[in-house]
Amino acid sequence: MTESLTTQSLLLDRITHRYGSSLAVDDVTLDITGGELVALLGPSGCGKTTLLRIIAGFINQGEGSVIIGGKAIDHLPPHRRTIGIVFQNYALFPHMTVADNVAYGLAARGTDRATQSARVGEMLDLVKLSAMADRYPRQLSGGQQQRIALARALAVRPSILLLDEPFAALDKNLRLDMQIEIKRIQRMAGTTTIIVTHDQEEALSMADRVAVLSHGRLEQFAAATEVYDKPQSYFVNTFVGASNVLTGKLMDVNGMEGTVSLPGGGQWQGQLVGALNRGAMVRICIRPEHLAFSADADALPGKIEIGLPLGATIVHEVRLTGGASLKVAGPRAMGALALPPGSDIAVKPAISGAVRIYPEI
Amino acid sequence: MIDRRQMMTTALTLGAMHAFPQLTQAQARRLVFATFTGSWEEAHRDVLVPAFRKASNNADIALDPLLSVDQIAKVTAARANPPIDVMLHDPGPALVAIDQDLVDDYPVAQSAHYKDLIADAQGAKGPAPFFQVVGITYNPDKIKTPPTSWNDIWKPEYKGRVGITNLNSTLGTGFLVEIARSRGGSEANVDAGFKAIEELKPNLGAVAANPGQLATLYQQGQIDIGPGNFNAIQILKARGVAVEFVAPKEGAIAFKTTIHLVKNSPNKELAFKLIEASLSPEVQAKLMESPYLIVPTNTKVKIGGEVAKALAKDHDEMKKKFVFQDWAAINKQRSAWIEKFNRDIKI
Amino acid sequence: MRSAPVTAYDLKLALPLAGFFALFFVAPLLILILVSFYTDTSLTQFGLAQYARFLLDPFSLSVLVSTLWLGVKVTLLCLLLGFPLAWTFVRSPRLAQGVLMLIIVLPLLTSVVVRTFAWIVILGRQGIVNNLLLSLGLADTPLRLLYTDGGVVVALAQVQMPLMVLPLITALSRIDPNLRDASSALGAGAWRSFVKVILPLTLPGIMAGCLLTFAAAITAFITQSLVGGGQMLFMPMYLYQQSSTLSNWPFAAAISIIFLVAVLGAVTLFNLLGRLSRGYAQG
């Protein structure tokens, strides 16, 4: 079923777009390999939806170029772009049956009826909803509607598949099933796919690569694990995954490593992100699971505020003597309890390189 | 055999009295005078009503401006206890009201003014306090040589510039009859009139739905010439519209506007006083002046002003220059004419 | 515990209205029907003479047909002009919508008589249209626009336009804008998207608008008679002539009943067509 013909690369080349005077997309370049599943991740208003609409052709970008399989398609109207879209609300045609919905794009392209119905059958098999062919969208559950929307988008063998917040309307249990399902279908169809989402877990779990956007700018475009482990900006660090944030003064610089003195006393080593000079005020980020209780002399003293055993992990909220508050997470051993509030402890990074140092804004 | 019509009217009246109990107390109500709408109402409010109040020691009176047909409908619906005491009618509806037995004889013997009315204005079922006069209306800005005859309307130079009304109105019907008469027809036979209107078609710029609309069409330049009512045209002229009225040499068509005592009126005496006031030379003389310009029927009124200039210097000349039509004969066939007009006259 | 059904309140509350309708609508209608069965103007004998007179008379039938046909023409023109207007409204920014809505509703806020007189001014011999044609040299003499079928249709279409546009706006604004995007992303051009998606989904609004416009156009006595003049006969004027000028109440009543039945027939037919075409839309 996989058709390499439909596997096309997508290049967004220096795209900039304004709504009036406000900059919605600011010089974004994304080079996406054929067959890849990429997530555009960011909070609302970050420009990800604008970018999706630019790719689909609903918006003509102010500057830059959309290039599919090496060919610029900027001059093409949406209906000539062969781009499949699954909308957040699925946008199934309410007055057509499931089969007619799936056949819609084929009919619009003048495909003959026999091919249409064969293709519809194939698509419904793919999304495992063959039995629903004669139903109307309103007779389907949310998950079923989404799969039909996917079948409809894929039926025309699009060069690019765009999914706009595909799981936002689904309840939590169904969400994971559908994420797996879509990933399966995408692998089978081999279609280059872009998911627009504000949900970092969704992005990290599904995407081969994640593009993090903030205020119209591309903050980082990398594999999901890399985005999590090596965030390239303070924004990415705090938006993707949980992070503890402290402020401090950069005492020493050694290549990409730096030493920061913390307000309550004590010093931590960390990775410098961006050019920083000794003596600068900086923000440091460290994820809760990279902190551990320690009796070492360089550990920062504090008291347990509260402890939350969360099944596989256990999270403690710690108030440092210096005043700052930190979360410390670690695996929970069988039968382990949280430390009681008020316990005196000290914390330090468990892994070297887990502390990341960003310039103060 | 019981008169079904009577029965239904009674049933309706009873029902209405149930719904609106105050109707049953109508015995004590004030005098209601159904006048025409528009300039007529104005004239009556300003001149006739004050004269009546003076004559009746300030009796209460209400004007109910209605078209003739609506007056008849209102009285027919409550014959036993009519909501109107005095009706005003054009010749056609007057005969309908008389035929349907809606009006009382006018107490001629007691009347101070009846004997002074010119003969054409007298009538046992209701005298005519006013005449309406129809002549030729034209726009002097567009038509430099004033027309003198009805026949002028047929001149080819007025292609698309003539306006008439359909036969729903007294004006339209009177015009048709007059044209028929001038071409050998009569009130009993208007075929010649229909033929003439057929010939007029190239000239017709408008067949208005009613005289009111016809008058406004001069203002908009849609039409420049056609039959018109003296009063209506004078009012238009007073507002600065370029229109003139001429009485054609064949004679202007005159309609009696008659005033009637409604049968079973609870206010007989006051009604009589109102009608007397309308026949009095004082009221008629005042109504003849600008801006009303209503043609008087009382020979004691000395004709002057615009009426004298455009129509007749005195009542003798009036008799000679006015053409009266036999509306009893007209009413017999009016329905058939309207139907014929409906079918045949399409511009 | 079960709460009382909502409808229990509704029926009681509707009683005054029902009484009002019975007294002022049903009762007069029954009287109208009764009167239409008299054979003579003095209402003494029952019979079907009035109906026979109308239904066996080609002229009367032609008046009925031309009235219904007038309604069809006005409705089509309203739809043709109203749809783009509604479309523009729905796709305009909020501020422009406010202005547009004012323009759309404005006709409802001015008297029909005033609007109709405006058309007399526009269509007259010295009206705006004729002056323009003459000054552009497109015509040598003023064209006759007033008192023509076309004039009546155009004037009625303007007068009744809000009745078409408002339901259309409601229907169009209920359509998810993503549907259009979905359609075009699937390869459908603007026309295909319109015919296959927008139009079927707007159908309820089109039906409502057409019914309102049709009903209003065929009964618009004032506009019909002022713009059509005294020689163009439509049912309302026919009715008026018989009842008012000629006091022939039985015939007038018969005309009303026949008109009523014809209109109900037309509306039913229209509804049926609508339901058929919606059949595929909603299954």
Q: What is the pLDDT of residues A212-269, one digit of tens each?
A: 999 999 999 999 999 999 999 999 999 998 999 999 999 999 888 999 988 777 888 8
Architecture of domain A242-359: Beta Barrel (2.40)
Instruction: Say what the ipTM of the complex is.
Output: 0.82
Q: Does C114 touch chain B (CB under 8 A)?
A: no
B166, B125: one domain: no
C54 contacts in chain B (CB < 8 Å): none
Does residue B266 lie in a domain region? yes
Q: Could you give the 3-state DSSP secondary structure of residue A338?
A: coil
Does residue B347 lie in a domain region? no
More confident residue, B202 or B26: B202
The confidence score (pLDDT) of residue A40 equals: 96
What pTM did the predictor assign?
A: 0.76
Number of domains comprising chain B:
2
pLDDT at B19 over 50: no
Q: What is the pLDDT along chain C (283 residues), one digit of tens a residue?
A: 445 555 556 677 888 888 888 888 899 999 999 999 999 877 888 999 999 999 999 999 999 999 999 999 999 999 999 999 999 999 899 999 999 999 888 888 888 888 888 888 888 888 888 888 888 888 888 888 888 888 899 999 988 999 999 999 999 999 998 999 999 999 999 999 999 999 999 988 999 899 999 999 999 988 888 888 877 889 999 998 888 778 788 999 999 999 999 999 988 888 888 777 665 444 3
CB contact under 8 A, C147 and B207: yes
Confidence of residue B23 (pLDDT cuts 50, 70, 90): very low
What is the spatial distance between Cα C96 and Cα C245, in angstroms, rounded to a whole number? 49
Q: Does B208 touch chain C (CB under 8 A)?
A: yes
Does residue B319 lie in a domain region? no
B331, B210: one domain: yes
Tell me: cis bond preceding B291? Omega within 30 of 0 counts: yes
What's the mean pLDDT when you consider all of chain A?
A: 90
B145, B191: one domain: yes
| Cα atoms in the Cβ-side hemisphere of radius 13 Å centred on A73 | 26
pLDDT at B24 over 50: no
The confidence score (pLDDT) of residue C1 equals: 43
CA distances for B116 relative to A70, B54, B321, angstroms: 109, 21, 19
The confidence score (pLDDT) of residue C5 equals: 52
B192, B238: one domain: yes
CB contact under 8 A, B3 and C23: no
Q: Provide the CATH number for the domain around residue C217.
A: 1.10.3720.10
Q: Could you give the 3-state DSSP secondary structure of residue B233?
A: helix
Number of domains comprising chain C:
1
B62, B180: one domain: no
- The residue of chain C with its CA nearest to that of B9 is C43
The confidence score (pLDDT) of residue C43 equals: 81
Q: Does B335 touch chain C (CB under 8 A)?
A: yes
- The overall longest dimension of chain B from CA atoms, in Å, is 66
Among A227-236, B103-112, B279-288, C234-243, the minimum mean pLDDT is found in C234-243
User: How many Å lie between the alpha carbon of A193 and the closest alpha carbon of chain C?
Assistant: 15
Does residue C56 lie in a domain region? yes
What is the 3 state secondary structure string of chain C?
A: CCCCCHHHHHHHHHHHHHHHHHHHHHHHHHHHHHHHCECCCCCCCECCHHHHHHHCCHHHHHHHHHHHHHHHHHHHHHHHHHHHHHHHHHCCCHHHHHHHHHHHHHHHHCCHHHHHHHHHHHHCCCCHHHHHHHHCCCCCCCCCCCCCHHHHHHHHHHHHHHHHHHHHHHHHHCCCHHHHHHHHHCCCCHHHHHHHHHHHHHHHHHHHHHHHHHHHHHCCHHHHHHHHCCCCCCHHHHHHHHHHHCCCHHHHHHHHHHHHHHHHHHHHHHHHHHHHHHHHHHC
Domain that holds residue B50: 4-130+256-311
Chains C and A touch (3+ CB pairs under 8 A): yes
B123, B272: one domain: yes
pLDDT at A177 over 90: no
Does residue B317 lie in a domain region? no
B339 contacts in chain C (CB < 8 Å): 59
Q: Does C23 touch chain B (CB under 8 A)?
A: yes
Q: What is the pLDDT of residues B40-68, one digit of tens each?
A: 888 999 999 999 999 999 999 999 988 88
Domain regions of chain A by residue span: 4-236, 242-359
Residue count (chain B):
347
CB contact under 8 A, A87 and C184: no
Q: Does B97 touch chain C (CB under 8 A)?
A: no
B247, B275: one domain: no
| Closest CB from B72, B96, B208 relative to C230 | B208
What is the spatial distance between Cα C272 and Cα C278, in angstroms, rounded to a whole number? 10
∠ Cα C80 C82 C84 (to 5°): 80
User: How many Å lie between the alpha carbon of C230 and the closest alpha carbon of chain A?
Assistant: 48
B145, B228: one domain: yes
pLDDT at A175 over 50: yes
Among A302-311, B103-112, C103-112, C175-184, the minimum mean pLDDT is found in C103-112
B72, B140: one domain: no
C238 contacts in chain B (CB < 8 Å): 342
B38, B170: one domain: no
B126, B202: one domain: no
Instruction: Over range B91-120, report the average pLDDT.
Output: 92
B147, B183: one domain: yes
Please compute Rg for chain C using Cα positions. Answer: 23
Q: Provide the CATH number for the domain around residue B40.
A: 3.40.190.10
The confidence score (pLDDT) of residue B9 equals: 52
Does residue C175 lie in a domain region? yes
Does residue C96 lie in a domain region? yes
Q: Please state, for a pLDDT cut of 70, what percent of chain B lies above it.
A: 92
Q: Please state, for a pLDDT cut of 70, what percent of chain A lies above it.
A: 98
What is the spatial distance between Cα A67 and Cα C52, in angstroms, rounded to a whole number? 77
The confidence score (pLDDT) of residue B319 equals: 86
Query: Given 2.160.20.10, 3.50.50.60, 3.20.20.140, 3.40.50.300, which CATH number is that of A4-236?
Result: 3.40.50.300
Domain that holds residue C174: 46-282
Does residue B241 lie in a domain region? yes
The confidence score (pLDDT) of residue C101 equals: 92
Does residue B51 lie in a domain region? yes
Residues 15-54 of A with CB under 8 A from C: none
Sign of CA dihedral B61, B65, B71, B75: negative
